[in-house]
Every structure is written in structure tokens, then in C-alpha cells.
Chain A
């Protein structure tokens, strides 16, 4: 009744605008007050056919528009052939320009009216106040942007969220998060006084510095708890004796993401921020980074890393997918998200290994290897196990004797990982396979045979075993092994050409006429984003990386390295990285939707389910894969 009478008090035309808005998302789900705010602050404009509504030269986008009648066409100049192409056409109730507004930049698309067109617009002030007050409106704007994810510059996008939405963005430099003038003390200060200083300033940590302001240690409330509980030292002892020496530090210009990853990996809660000369500038805590998040990465990593039972690890997997969800919602890019997933997966794998060693130590030093997507740090929520063991044979034992001890252990680990959601590998690429539980010498032999013989099976293996990394245990032996293998590949043009030929068979799913080529196995309109979309990039980049001595396994890192070495033109490398990340992002979004709908995860999508813009972007990404393959074709005269 109250709402109705309030509505009666609004002018007819304001009510009419509200009624129009209510027929279209996101307005249909917005609160009455917010709708009224929009309507009262809106302005109606008319555009005749073919008029420029919004131009790329207009400067930073200030107005938010809704089409009230007619249509708007997006046009972009294709710099390659100097032709204008239509990127989208929107109509009644559609909004623009989302990416430019949220990104606080000018639009990159010329907006032109099609037919007699009326648009309602609100000014920047009203937009910002709606963006901050209405969750529905904010979600809509950000989702609109994330569907443009890799077409727009993600850095700008997340910077915008810091200025208009929340303070959360993983791309911001640390100096924006770090506490300035952190609480410091000298190494000889008694613990009691140091704690008093923390108390006075209500902070959770104190940094111990030397005369040059270089951080030499850190002491946190957690350390204090341990100190008292375990009676390690009296409170009169100097802080030097109880501090954590050589604290982790990062340069101020590095981004929050680097800090988050470091914290997640090492379970630190605080990181020192220093300048180029290692002088302390500030301290950043996990609370600073994750203030606004429901599930926080560092805490989750720590919980996984200290879990004492398998069933805890299993139950924490749900939190991982929730975290990915909230990361996507906060506009993290797909590259960051796969890294986060990989980090959390690594922590899980390590913890499963640690728990089993504690229970039943095989007594042999070994390195746990990850292959394939796990090796490339490109895991998504749908992931299966590809692992192996590299061991050092203790004196007086034969390799088979070592295997007798390690294989039952590996079997249990593989099974427990399966319980945690890492599906058992159908091809038995697992550490419990005797052929993949080898000593350094045996692995080296294996690589020699693998590189010298060009059997079809070896080609299948190339996509698995040439992308590897150590997840647990010493990494030096693997590094040595891999460097030798790289040298062998570098000196073996035949093997390179064979790899290139194999990569070339992975055609991007486009027909000659630039429409989608679908998978043939009964699924009528399905694209396999992993095998048809990502694989062409992964495979082609691997050939170039191995041939040019690039040691990284991650596809994006390999492309960076190849650009640095001058193998790829930097512009090409960027385009390919963007295209690759975009396909990855669409795949991840699909995974999250499947999880939400409680469907089994697959890599298949029907492009008809995508919005027209995503479809175009996907097509363009596949075209980039074709260009990369052309480079391969040229380099290896395929």
C-alpha cells in the first residue's frame, strides 16, 4: 500500500519510464526505489536513422543508455583492411556502453542508430550511485563486461571496480593495498615492548628492520600465540630470537595477485612491500587483499595445507569451486583463475602426499611430477590426474626394489586424489604405473627413446610428457632432466618437424567460410573447447617453445618467452594470448554453469547458446589459432 501510494505521487511520465524499464533486465529485478532513481534522472533523446550516438572520439564514457525505441549498431574499424565491420546490433531495452563505463574509458565501438531511435540515458553521477546501491544493476554491468572479457582490457576493467565498486582487484599494484608506515622495531627490542607497540596501533604484525630499513624479520599475533603456548621464550627475550627471519617481500609495483599467490603457496598472512633498494614501504596482509571476499584464497589454501584428514580435503573442494565463482564475479581474468585453481590443486596434492608419508613413509626421496594441463598450470575445475614419480635410488637398492616400495604408496595417493575430485587417468598416466615411477637415469633413457622414435603413440605422449613440472619434492633433478631433454629436442629437427606436423592436424573448428565446424561424434552443434579450441594453441606453442629452448610449461608463459626471444612478433603473441585466454574464459564460465545446474562437467558447448557477441569473439579467437598454425606451417614447411 505504501509503495502504491508512493507511486501515485510520482509524475505520470516518471511512472511510464519505470513501467517501460520493468519489462527489461536488469531493471525487471531492481528495487522500486532504484528504478525511480533511474527514471527521475533519465533524459530522452532522439536519433534519426544512421546517426552517431556515441563515438570513439567522445572521450571517457559518461552516460549510460537504454534503447527505448529503434536499434543501435556497433561498428569497428578493421585496421587490417580498413573496412568497417558491425560488431553487434541491439534493440529495445538493451543497454550500452557497459565496458567503457565500467572501464572508465572511451568506447572502442562506434554506436550508430538504425531507424528512428529513442534512447534514455543517465549521467555518470546517477550511474555510479545506482552501481553502488543496486546489487542487481552492478551484477548486470559487470556480467556484461565479463562477457567481453578478453576483448576489453581487463586491467582497466578491474581498476574501475576499485574506483566505483569495491576495493577488490587483483591487478592493482600492491602500493594500493599496503599499509603505509607499518609498525617497525629494531631486532633488540624485548618481545613485551614489541607486542605493546602492536597493541597500541591495533595491528596484527610488526616488521623488524635493520638500520637501513631493510626488513630482517616479521612477528605476528600468530607467532605470539605459538610463543606463549609452547613457552619458547620469555617475554623479556629480544624479538630477534622469536621473529620469523627473512620475511617474504615484494616490490610495491608488483600486483596484488602476486602477493595472493605467494601467500597461498607459503601460507603467509603478511608480506612486506619494499622499494627497489629493499627498503620497507609497507605491509600487506591477507585481510587487506580479501576484505570483501566470501571465500578467501589464502585462508582456503592454508586450510587445505593443514587438513589432517582426507575427508576434510574432500569437503574443501566445494569451497574451491565457490572461490572460482566469486573470482569470476569479481572480474579476475581466466589466466589468474586457472593459476588459482592450479595452486589450490597443488596444495591439495601436496597435503595428500604429506598425510600419506606421515602414515606410511616409503622411505625413498622422490619428486612428484605433474604432466599435461596440470604440468602447464592450466587446470580448470574439470581435471584428471596426469602424474608420475622421479626418484633417487638409495645406495644398495635396485630400481625395481625402490618401485616395490613406492608403487603401493603411489596407488593409495592416486586413489585418494580421485576421492578429492581428480579423476583417475583413463590412459593410466599415473604415478602408480610402474612405467612412470622411474629413477633419473630411467627417465633420461625414456626421453631418448621418446625423442628418437616417431611412433604414433609417442606423438600422443608428446602432449603429456613434454609439459611437466615438480609438484612435491626436490625440483633440481627434474630441472636437470628436462634441460637435457630440451637440448636433445633442439638438436633434432626431425623430431621438431614431427611434433609440428602433429600440432598441425589439430585444426581450429572453423570451416572455409568462417562458420563453426562441429565435432562429428553425434553431437550436432557441439564444439569441444578443449580439444578443438585450446589444443591448437597449446600444441603449436609447445613446438616453438621446445625448439627454442623455452623451459616454461605454461602456454601463456611460453608465448611471453617466445616473444622475448624474438620468435613471435610481440603483437602476434598478444593477440594469440588474448584469443587463448578468451576460449579458456568461455570454457570456465560454461563449467561454472554446469556446476550450478548440477550437470556433469564437459568441455562441450553449443555456440548457439552463446550471446551473439561471444559467438563473434569465439570465431575471431579460432581465426587467431589458424594464424598461429600458418606460422607453424611456414616454419616447418608442412
Chain B
């Protein structure tokens, strides 16, 4: 992680990030979960319709070695309606020189892709975040690569099938484990709670002998099939 940050800072010092030079998204394989860096992400949007609505903020943390280091996070506000700064962003947590307000959206998204390093992305109801993010990336950067996406809303019932049978929201899962978001509907705060749930699920996964990304992905796929069968 430290090495990665160093390299990243090196590249940053040399100037802006080149779109042709972004890290390639990883593919699902036998990489051990313990040593894989995972991105846990949450978006704030102006509404629920990816065709119409816009992304306002991105909050993300990383999980590495079954732990969440706070010096490896991404807290980005794309547009603040109350401030009416169009095409201007505030970037948090990626070094003091980036802290000055007034980065272009394009620039910020390049930083995000660079920071994500092509690592697997987890989100709660990930389909929603995936649609918004991919749409924005395509529109702003013409970027079309596919990251691995895993849904924490599937992850939790897969490992804790008896908990939360009726209620399915992030808040319900947080309540079940006594977690509390530090701010309501704040991308970064929600990402943190999602990551905390992920840590709990990964702990359980290790106990059940699930050690690689492929095993985890299989388990989720199996659960999905099981659920679909139950529906009929």
C-alpha cells in the first residue's frame, strides 16, 4: 500500500495523469483476499435515474490485509449545489497540493481511477453506483474499461443468512452490528460503514474457508441463483 502511494505520488509530481497510462482493472482470479486491495465506494447523486441524474460526490476507502487504513481513502465532492460551483470539485485526502478548490471534474476522475488502481470495487447495491460511475467516466473521459464490482448487499446475507431477513437497507445492516455512520447520506461516511460491514463479512468468509477472490465471487453467484430459485 505504502509503495503504491509512493509510486502514485511520484507520478503526480511528474505532472497530470495521462489517460493512456491508467492502471488496468484486475480480473477475478485466485488472488488471495487477504493481500488484495479492495475499494469500498459510495456515491451521492442528484436522484435515482442514471439517465437523468448526476453524481455529486464520491467517497471511498480501501481495504488491505483485512484492515482499513485511513491514509488510503478518497473523499471527493464533484459539485456542491449550494455553492453552485459547476465543473469544479473539491478533493480531499489525496495530498495537500490537491486540496486547493477548483479542480476540473475530468482531473478528479483521473485521480480516482489512478487511486483505485484497477482494484475490485465493493458497494452497497453496487449496480446503482456502477451505472452512475461508468456513465460519468464515459461521458467525461471516454473511459470504457470494466472494473470488478461486488455487491455488499449480497455479501451480507451470504454470510449472515439469518440476520435481517425482512429489512434490506444499509442502515439495517449497520444497526444489526451496532455500527453508526458518522454523517447521514454522506458518501464517505456511508463508504466507511459499508467497509466496516465488508470487514465483518470477510472475517466470516475466512472462517468458512473462503480465501480467494474467485471463491468469494462464486459464493455470491451461488447465493444469487439460490435466491432466484426461491423466487419461483
A16 to B188 alpha-carbon distance, docked (Å): 10
Complex interface: chain A residues within 8 A of B99 (CB): 9
Query: Do residues B183 and A116 form an inter-chain contact, with CB atoms below 8 A?
Result: no
Inside 8 A of B191's CB, which chain A residues have their CB?
Answer: 13
Contacts of B68 in A (CB 8 A): 43-45
Say yes or no for A46: interface residue by CB 8 A criterion: yes
B203 at the interface (CB under 8 A from A): yes
Min CB–CB distance A154 → chain B (angstroms) = 34
* Cβ–Cβ contact A47 & B178, under 8 A: no
Among residues 1 to 31 in chain A, which have CB atoms less than 8 Å away from a CB atom of chain B? Answer: 9-17, 19-20
The answer for the CA separation of A420 and B92 in the assembled complex, in Å, is 63
Instruction: Using C-beta atoms within 8 Å of the partner chain, give the interface range for chain A.
Output: 20 to 34
CA–CA, A47 and B70, complex, Å: 18
Report yes or no: B67 in contact with A45, Cβ–Cβ below 8 A: yes
Complex interface: chain A residues within 8 A of B222 (CB):
none
Chain B residues with CB under 8 A of A10: 92-93
Bound together, the chains give a CA A15 to CA B59 distance in angstroms of 14
Give the residues in chain A near B207, CB-CB below 8 Å: 48
Chain B count of residues within 8 A CB distance of the other chain: 30
Contact of B182 among A16, A44, A46, A51 (CB under 8 A): A16
Question: Is chain B's interface secondary structure helix, strand, loop, or mixed overall?
Answer: mixed
- In the complex, are the beta carbons of B93 and A11 less than 8 A apart? yes
| Interface membership of B126, Cβ < 8 A | no
CB within 8 Å of B: which residues of A?
9-17, 19-20, 39-48, 51, 69, 116, 118
Indicate if B223 sits at the interface (CB-CB under 8 A): no
Chain B: minimal CB distance from A91 (Å): 12
A47 vs B192: C-alpha distance in the bound complex, in angstroms?
16
- CB neighbours (8 Å) of B67 from chain A are 43-45
Are B93 and A14 in contact (CB-based, < 8 A)? yes
Q: Which of B1-47 contact A (CB under 8 A)?
A: none
CA distance A17 to B200 in the complex (A): 19
13 further A-B contacts with Cβ under 8 Å, apart from A10-B92, A43-B69, are A9-B92, A9-B99, A12-B188, A13-B70, A13-B188, A16-B183, A16-B192, A41-B70, A41-B71, A43-B67, A48-B200, A48-B204, A69-B179
User: Which residues of the partner chain B approach A69 to less than 8 Å between Cβ atoms?
Assistant: 178-179
Contact B178 A11 (CB under 8 A): no
Mask: chain B, 84-108; 1 = CB below 8 Å from A; 0 = not: 0000000011000001000000000
Listed residue (B69, B73, B99, B178) with the most chain A CB atoms within 10 angstroms of its CB: B69
A40 CA / B69 CA spacing, docked (Å): 8
A608 to B88, CA, bound (A): 60
Question: Bound state CA distance, A10 and B71, in angstroms?
Answer: 11
Choose among A19, A44, A48, A116 the residue that contacts B70 (Cβ–Cβ < 8 A). A44
Complex formed: what's the CA distance from A46 to B200 in Å?
6
A70 to chain B, nearest CB (A): 8
Chain A residues in 8 Å Cβ range of B189: 12-13, 16
Asked whether A116 lies within 8 Å of B59 as measured between CB atoms, the reply is: no
Is B75 in contact with chain A by the CB < 8 A criterion?
yes
Minimum-distance CB pairs A-B, first 5: A16-B182, A11-B75, A46-B199, A12-B188, A11-B93
Contact of B199 among A12, A14, A15, A44 (CB under 8 A): A44
Of the residues B188, B195, B204, contact of A11 by C-beta under 8 Å:
B188
- Complex-state Cα separation, A322 to B27, whole angstroms: 66
Knowing A44-B196, A46-B203, A48-B207 touch, does A12 contact B182 (C-beta < 8 A)? yes
